[in-house]
Structure 1
Amino acid sequence: MPSVLVSTEIAIGTLLVLAVVVLATTYLRRRYIAKGLPLTLCGLRCTQTDRWRLGLIRFGDNALEWHTLGGVSVRPRHRWLRQRLILDAPELLVGRDSIPLLPDASRVPCTDGDNDFELALQGPAYTALRSWQEAAPPGYNVNVA
């Protein structure tokens, strides 16, 4: 009987250590990705037929970077240069298109010169993105519709 008790304690201890490691890794990854720059939750859809993928966007000095929400990679999955990024007017997500983790989010059609994609952002995050886009340093060829 004691061997069953010890095995159970080892299993529970292992699960607790694993949970702490996952939480610590997630926290440290998010801190490393932010690097003191604004970071917010958003959805990304590369085509109209794709599903929304949740991730984090970071407003860098010269580029907007999108990181996956999960995983251990600290490299951005997508990177769009500020001077090539064109933002269209936002449209509120309704019905099947809405994202449960982003209530009252808006779909923002974007173009990177070569690629079309959509971002799903809540009101304050959209305002931050628009402000970041419009606040480009002088001399940049910034396009804001």
Structure 2
Amino acid sequence: MPDWWSWSAGLAVVLLICVLAPIAWLLFRRMWLSMGHGRVFACSLQRTPTSVWKVGVARFHADTFEWYRVFSLSLRPKVTFRRDQTVVLKVHPAHGGEGSGVFPGHSIVELGPPLAGRSLAMARPDLTAFTSWTEASPPGMKNGRLLGS
């Protein structure tokens, strides 16, 4: 029959695994997101003008902009924007009133229809990449239509 020390040591190991496994998964997830799919950068999301800002990371993947929550265990993006449906309405620097989900020095991007009401917050270099991505068309396409159609 095991003694008290064996039980407590076993319980300590199980608790340690339960604490370290999610942290290791988050690190693996961040590596997986950036492997072969381009750079991953900090990007906060606000779904409606009255909702709170959610801290996340984003990446460009072909004709989509994928947004992932930072503290999620999922490998799937929480929100995906298609290039042909993403319109930048307004860009302005973040003010102190945006809340804790917006990092200092980030710029706010307000999106137009069909994504009206959604806003993104990102650093200036990432904002330049985002606006370039929204204005660009994939090869053979113009304004979401195949050339020659």
State the TM-score, normalizing by the size of structure 2. Answer: 0.78
Q: SS of 2:18's equivalent? A: helix
Q: Deviations over 1:92-121 (max 9, x none)?
A: 111221436622111110125254310011
Q: Secondary structure at the match of 1:108?
A: strand
Q: Which residue of 2 aligns with 1:141?
A: 143
Q: Structure 1 segments of 4 or more deviating over 6 A?
A: none
Q: In the alignment, is the contact (CA less than 8 A) between 2:55 and 2:101 conserved in 1?
A: no
Equivalent AA in structure 2 for residue 24 of structure 1: A
The residue matched to 1:89 in structure 2 has which SS?
Answer: strand
Change beyond 3 A, Cα 1:101–1:4: farther
Kindly report which structure 2 residues correspond to 1:39-78, keeping only aligned pairs within 5 A, or say none: 39-78=40-79
State the Cα distance separating 1:29 from its structure 2 match: 1.8
Aligned to 1:124: 125
Moved more, 126-135 or 51-60: 126-135
Give the SS at the match of 1:119. strand
CA distance in 2, matches of 1:112, 1:73: 28
Tell me, in whole angstroms, the C-alpha distance in 2 between the residues paired with 1:105 and 1:80: 20
2:65–2:81 Cα contact (<8 Å) kept? yes
Aligned to 2:28: 28
Q: Number of aligned pairs?
A: 141
2:147 is matched with: none
- Where in structure 2 are there 5+ consecutive unaligned residues? 145-149
Unaligned runs of 5+ in 1: none
Paired amino acid for 1:141: N
Flag the 1:101–1:91 CA change in 2: closer, same or farther, 3 A. closer
Q: What does residue 10 of structure 1 align with? A: 10
Match of 1:93 in 2: 94
Root-mean-square deviation (CA, aligned residues, Å) is 2.5
